[in-house]
Structure 1
C-alpha cells in the first residue's frame, strides 16, 4: 500500500462529507438521550471507549502481531461507530436513537482519544526507533477539522433548512456505506497481489476482534439489565467501526500504509459478521414474538 491521492485527498474529503451527513441527522435534542438514558449511554461508552481497545490490545499481544499491524488494530478499535452501525441497528429493530446518540458522542470524543492512545500504542509496539510519529496536538486539530466541524455544520444546516437537509442526509447516509465499499475495493484491486498476505497478517486478528466485541457489547448490556433493543444497539456500536476514519488516521495523518491493513480487513469482515448478527437477532425476535 502506498500513500497517494487516495489517502491524501480523497479519504479526508470523503470523511468530511460523511461526518457532515451525520450532522444533518442530528438535533440538539438527540444529545439529551445522554441524560435521558444515562445507564444505556454509560454502558455503551464503557464498551466502546474502554473494553474495545483493551480487547484489541490483548489480541495484538496474543497473536504476536507485527508492530505496525498491532498499531493499526488499535486504530480501528479506537474509531467510533458510524452510519453502518446505525443502519444495522435499524435493520435489527434495535434502539436507533441510542445508536445515533452513541455514535455522535463517541465521534466528539474520538478526536482527542485517538491521537493520545494511538501515540501510546506506537510507543509500546514500535518503540522510539521509528520514522513515523503522531504529533498529538496537531492530530487533534486535524481530526476536529474533518470530524467535529462538519458535524456542527450539518446540524446548522438541519436547523435552518430542514427539508433540504433531509434530502442531502439520505444521499450521504448511503454514500458513507457505498464509499467504504468503494475505497476497500480500490485498495483490494490496487494491492491484489498482496491481499492474501494482508489477510494472513491481520485477517484472523480482526475477525476475532470483531466477533468478540459484538458479543461483548450485547452481553455487557444484558448484564446491566438493559432492554433487548438497547443491547442490540450497543452490540453494533461496539462491533461496527468507522473504517473510513481509521483509514484516514493510519494512511493520511500517520502516513503508514501498513497500519491501514487492519482497517481494510476489519471493514470487509464487519459487513459479513454484522449481517449475520442482524439475521440472528431478527430471527430470535421473530421466534419470541
Structure 2
C-alpha cells in the first residue's frame, strides 16, 4: 500500500471507526438516570457545563488571538475547546476519587450539545483565522450529521447494550477505555511520522499555548467550583472535565472533515501536555477529596458522641 493510500485509509476509515468504538464505550457506562442527574444536582452540572461549553471556548479563542500562532495552529486550538470531554476525563476522575457520575453526565450532555455548536462556531473560527473565502468551510448540516453518527449514535448503542446486557457492558467498558488511550497514542505516532519534517517546529509553536490553555482551564474549573460551593469530589470532576478535552475527536475533524494535518498538531501536542498535567493533578485532587471525607467522618463521630 502506497503512502498516500495509507493516509487516506487512516483518515477516512480507521479514525472514524475507532472514534465510533470509543464513544460506544462511553455509552456502556451510561444509564437514562444519568441524564436525570442534571435535575438532581443542577448546580454542579451547571457549573461544569458553563465552564465546558462557554468559558472554555472563550479562553481558547482569546489565547489563539493573543499567542503568535500560525492560522492552522490557531484553528487547532478552537477544535480542542469546542469538543466535549471524553472517556479519558472520566477515567482520570475515577483515579482522582472524583464524582465519576457527574463527570460522565457532563461528558454525555456536552456531547449532545456540541454536535450542534461545533459546526457553526468552527466555521466562524475558520473565517476569522484563515480569512474569508478560504478553502476550509464545513457544510453545517452535513457536519452535524457526521458528528451525530460518531457521537450520539454510538453512545445510544452503548446505552442499549448497558440496558440489555449490563454484565457484558461492565466487563467491556474498561477495555474500551484502554483502547481509547492506545489508539490516541498510535494516532499521535502516526501524525509524527507522516509530518516528521514539521514536528519540531509544531512543538515550538503550539507547545506553549497548549500548556497555558491546559493549566488555565483546569484552574478555571477548580476555582469556579470552589467559589460555587461544590464539594471536593464534584470540584475534582469539573476540574478534570474542563481541562481534558476529547482530542481524538478534535484530530478527526482536522484530518477527516478539514483534511489538514497541520490543524491536527495542536490537539496532538495538547494530548501529551494534558496527560502529563493530569497525572500530577490526580495526586493533588485525591488528597483534597480524602481530606474532606476524613473531616466529614470526624464530624459524624462527634455527633454520635454527643448523642
1:104 is aligned, of 78, 95, 108, to: 108
Please state how far the C-alpha of 1:127 moved relative to its aligned partner. 1.7
- Residues 22 and 177 in structure 2, CA contact (< 8 A), matched pair in contact too: yes
Alpha-carbon distance between aligned partners in 2 of 1:162 and 1:86, rounded to the nearest angstrom:
19
| Residue of structure 1 in register with 2:32 after alignment | 28
**Secondary structure of the corresponding residue to residue 151 of structure 2:** helix
| Residue of structure 1 in register with 2:233 after alignment | 229
| Residue of structure 2 in register with 1:169 after alignment | 173
| Residue of structure 2 in register with 1:113 after alignment | 117
**Equivalent residues in 2 for 1:162-241 (5 A)?**
162-241=166-245
Please state how far the C-alpha of 1:188 moved relative to its aligned partner. 2.2
2:153 is aligned, of 144, 149, 153, to: 149
Structure 1, unaligned runs of 5 or more: none
> Which of the pair has the greater relative contact order for Cα pairs under 8 Å at 6+ separation?
1
Alpha-carbon distance between aligned partners in 2 of 1:194 and 1:183, rounded to the nearest angstrom:
16
Bigger Rg over Cα? 2
Please state how far the C-alpha of 1:166 moved relative to its aligned partner. 2.0
- Residues 184 and 268 in structure 1, CA contact (< 8 A), matched pair in contact too: no
Please state how far the C-alpha of 1:228 moved relative to its aligned partner. 1.0
**Secondary structure of the corresponding residue to residue 184 of structure 2:** helix
- TM-score in terms of structure 2 length: 0.90
> Residue deviations 1:76-125, cap 9 Å, x none?
11111111111111111111110010011111112111111101101111
Please state how far the C-alpha of 1:215 moved relative to its aligned partner. 0.8
Residues 229 and 284 from structure 1, CA distance in 2 versus in 1: closer, same or farther, beyond 3 angstroms?
A: closer
Alpha-carbon distance between aligned partners in 2 of 1:129 and 1:107, rounded to the nearest angstrom:
29
Alpha-carbon distance between aligned partners in 1 of 2:113 and 2:186, rounded to the nearest angstrom:
27
**Equivalent residues in 2 for 1:253-264 (5 A)?**
253-264=257-268
| Residue of structure 2 in register with 1:52 after alignment | 56
Residues 285 and 149 from structure 1, CA distance in 2 versus in 1: closer, same or farther, beyond 3 angstroms?
A: closer
- TM-score in terms of structure 1 length: 0.95
- Residues 132 and 256 in structure 1, CA contact (< 8 A), matched pair in contact too: no
> Residue deviations 1:196-231, cap 9 Å, x none?
111112111111001100111010111111111111
| Residue of structure 2 in register with 1:74 after alignment | 78
Alpha-carbon distance between aligned partners in 1 of 2:79 and 2:9, rounded to the nearest angstrom:
21
RMSD: 1.6
| Residue of structure 1 in register with 2:305 after alignment | none
Please state how far the C-alpha of 1:34 moved relative to its aligned partner. 0.6
**Secondary structure of the corresponding residue to residue 192 of structure 1:** coil
Alpha-carbon distance between aligned partners in 2 of 1:230 and 1:132, rounded to the nearest angstrom:
39
1:133 is aligned, of 112, 137, 156, to: 137
